[in-house]
Chain A
């Protein structure tokens, strides 16, 4: 126990508080700027706690560099100094984690930009900023980012990505590992992920994942979800908007209002659209598993390769004249009895295989040959 406390207390601390930064005039603004650097052990994790916009860039050598630039409009230098207010900067370390505290105590109207240079030997960067955007252009390790509000923009990240924004967009160009990000509201986009992807949009916004090597989980309170290519399964749900999956190894998708369009390579499909159509395309040579497609108000269209073995069980509970339209003679459609839905269509295509269960409450079921 004593040893653990000693480790914590032993943290190397370089305190340089209350240092008066030089203030210079730039046009209509007064600008205060401070910066420094410090060494960091290989494989260490760097944590930056601050307030303002943060930019992280790759730094040659083995030193972490930082620069805080503050800008404010003021009548004179004294007023500018008062508004800038200085701040606290502190570096401490414990158990492989180096913490850089950069806490400006300036007034809210001061624009604060923090730039951090990180050497390649750092394994992870953790940024926590009260308010402001976070931009990481290039970093080989993992990142953990959190902002109370502001956009998060990431370039090429070698490791995993975890991020949260209280309000704003999340744009990730490339990540070598898994991605797990949440925003309170705003669009989210991932171009290329080397692992799984989990994106959540709490109050609405569109989600787009172009390519992911693993599973993709996407949740949007209100907005569209588009997944281009997923190496694993896709789990997507939105309260309002379409869901579109280019290819995946299993899909679970639910949309309260909007169309669900899916192309599936393998695995099960569980698709539900409360108010909207479902269009599912089974790919040639796909290894599908038992699947269920349910549409409340809307049609279900399934495109089936002519050589795919699958068993179909379709139920159409539409009142009046329910319809099941099939290109496959193997599907026997039993008309509904007088005033008694549902109409049922079932049969084994190419000898039968995994069960494809289709249910429509108000719409038409189409089984199309591809």
Chain B
């Protein structure tokens, strides 16, 4: 392909402004020195101008007439038609499906934007609140249809007692909702009244150990206070004592873990404090920087006749 042919093939794209900067430069350079190609460009420009001048307004009946014609032709042919008609080809064209999908989306999108308050008795695209939905995917369906997958968020009020399993499942889920500490706090507050149930207690322990918000952790600790004798609760409190960054949490944890140790009767002995907790307190002595927590730990270790150091 010589240069002139190549340039002439690019003339349409040049007029549409679709050539890259370099391609456009090359075409311009060629046109400066080639009178024939300049003439071709002028013809191309005239053709474009002619197209622009012609505005075809198809009559409203054209589609109906086309269908009537089509039906007549089909009826005229008695033999089975194995050949796919142009209309079917037209309907099956992949580009048409995509264009149809795009057109439907565009009509919905721009229609909602231009006429948001049409008062048609439905909201948006006759589905739910458009502010609470988003299109996840679009795909062409059979017969030119479109399949749109929507992600929707609907508000729904669910009521029931705390013993209702559905309510409880929702509460247990809300207690771990990472987005809203206020929601977790209120949920944990409600669950505190049902901490005798193992699943609830497990959730409170999870909040105590993992919730990033100190307020929620403190609330969870409130709910676990009556169960401080249980092994899993003591283990969680020991974890708080060793690793929680909030001194208020550590203060409460040591209070709970050492409840009854050194009471006024003096009857409590090391039997009142299991080995794990003693080990925890000894470990605490190695790194605790809060003087009050440290002192409390020291005192308890002394009361149970345990050394300060770990061996």
Q: Which A residues form the contact surface with B (CB < 8 A)?
A: 26-29, 71-73, 107-111, 130-132, 147-151, 166-169, 183-187, 203-206, 220-224, 240-242, 257-259, 275-276, 318, 320-321, 323, 335-336, 338, 364
Contacts and interface: CB of A to CB of B under 8 A. Distances in A.
Given A185-B249, A223-B214, A259 B298 contact: no
B248 A167 contact: yes
A44 to B, nearest CB: 30
B302 A149 contact: no
Given A205-B215, A258-B181, 14 more contacts: A71-B262, A167-B251, A168-B247, A184-B248, A185-B248, A185-B249, A203-B246, A204-B215, A222-B181, A240-B215, A257-B180, A321-B130, A335-B114, A338-B110
B271 interface: no
B214 A222 contact: yes
Contacts of B179: 257, 275
Contacts of A204: 213-215, 246, 248
Contacts, number: 160
Contact of B185 (A185, A224, A318): A224
A276 B248 contact: no
B46 to A, nearest CB: 34
Contact of B246 (A185, A242, A258): A185
Interface stretch (B7-15, B73-81, B194-202, B286-294): B286-294
B218 A186 contact: yes
20 contacts: A107-B302, A147-B292, A167-B248, A167-B250, A167-B290, A167-B292, A185-B247, A186-B218, A186-B251, A187-B218, A204-B213, A205-B246, A222-B181, A222-B213, A222-B215, A223-B213, A224-B182, A259-B182, A321-B124, A336-B113
Nearest to B110: A338
Nearest to A338: B113
Main secondary structure on A side of the interface with B: loop
B260 to A, nearest CB: 13
Nearest to A238: B215
A72 B305 CA distance: 11
B262 A184 contact: no
Contact of B181 (A150, A203, A221, A242): A242
B182 A167 contact: no
The 10 closest A-B pairs by CB, nearest first: A149-B292, A204-B214, A186-B248, A223-B215, A242-B182, A27-B266, A185-B248, A167-B247, A109-B302, A28-B266
A220 B217 CA distance: 14
A16 B97 CA distance: 100
Contacts of A183: 248
A147 B247 CA distance: 13
Interface string B284-311: 0000001111010011011101000000
Contacts of B215: 187, 204-206, 220, 222-224, 240-241
A356 B151 CA distance: 33
B185 to A, nearest CB: 5
Contacts of A259: 180, 182-183
A26 B264 CA distance: 8
Interface string B198-241: 00000000000000111110110000000000000000000000
A132 B266 contact: no
B131 A364 contact: yes
Given A28-B266, A276-B180, A203 B299 contact: no
A323 B292 CA distance: 53
A151 B255 CA distance: 11
B31 interface: no
A149 B181 contact: no
Interface in B149-183: 179-183
A29 B261 CA distance: 12
A183 B252 CA distance: 14
B259 to A, nearest CB: 15
A242 B177 CA distance: 14
B116 interface: yes
Contacts of B130: 321, 323
B292 A206 contact: no
B247 A166 contact: yes
A358 B54 CA distance: 51
Contacts of B183: 259
Contacts of A275: 179-180
B245 interface: yes
B292 A223 contact: no
B137 interface: no
A149 B113 contact: no
Contact of A28 (B134, B218, B267): B267
Contacts of B301: 109
A278 B218 CA distance: 25
Nearest to B249: A185
Which of A26, A132, A168, A259: most chain B CB closer than 10 A? Answer: A168
B293 A149 contact: yes
Contacts of A132: 292
Nearest to A203: B246
Contacts of B19: none
Contacts of B249: 185-186
Contacts of B262: 71, 111
A123 B146 CA distance: 82
Given A166-B247, A206-B219, A338-B113, A109 B290 contact: no
Nearest to B112: A321
Nearest to B269: A28
A180 B301 CA distance: 36
Given A28-B267, A206-B219, A276-B180, A148 B292 contact: yes
Contact of B248 (A27, A29, A205, A242): A205
B29 interface: no
A209 B44 CA distance: 81
Given A186-B248, A257-B180, A26 B291 contact: no
B265 interface: yes
